[in-house]
Amino acid sequence: MIAELQCVVLDCSDVRELSRFYLALLGGTVDRPDPRWSLDDGWSTLHTGSGLVLAFQRVEDHRPPRWPDPAHPQQFHLDLGVTDLDLAQEQVLGLGASLLDAGEGTRGWRIYADPAGHPFCLVRD
């Protein structure tokens, strides 16, 4: 092993808005003191209960990805396990996500964008 994953960093225009979105989606603690990072107007973190850390970095003139447009690539995406796709969809849309692809038939996953435009999938466990 060469390295360990410390966090996943998402570029965005508003670090507080995006950290609150993922807090409501995943739970955890926003901006918990951590010696690895300093927290300020341009950087926020979410420490989840599972140990995963998401970080949010403010970028001037942030240009969100547009799925599936290769001129504006995804840059990354998260797969998030859920037991009830319909209920989870209702909840993430209520938090400000956008549905990008509902899938066809009995496919076990759907694609969304967070408020900053980053794609993520809800995948039935």
Domain boundaries, the chain: 8-58, 78-124
Residue type, 23: L
pLDDT of the residue at 31: 97
pLDDT higher than 80, residue 1:
no
User: Torsion angle of alpha carbons 101, 11, 81, 24, nearest 10°?
Assistant: -100
Common-topology check for domains 8-58 and 78-124: yes
Nearest to 73 by CA among 63, 59, 88: 63
CATH superfamily to which 8-58 belongs? 2,3-Dihydroxybiphenyl 1,2-Dioxygenase, domain 1 (3.10.180.10)
pTM of the full predicted structure?
Answer: 0.83
Report the CATH number of the 78-124 domain: 3.10.180.10
Task: Report d(CA 115, CA 25) in Å as an integer.
Answer: 12
Predicted confidence (pLDDT) per residue in 8-29, tens digit? 999 999 999 999 999 999 999 9
Rounded mean pLDDT, 76-102: 93
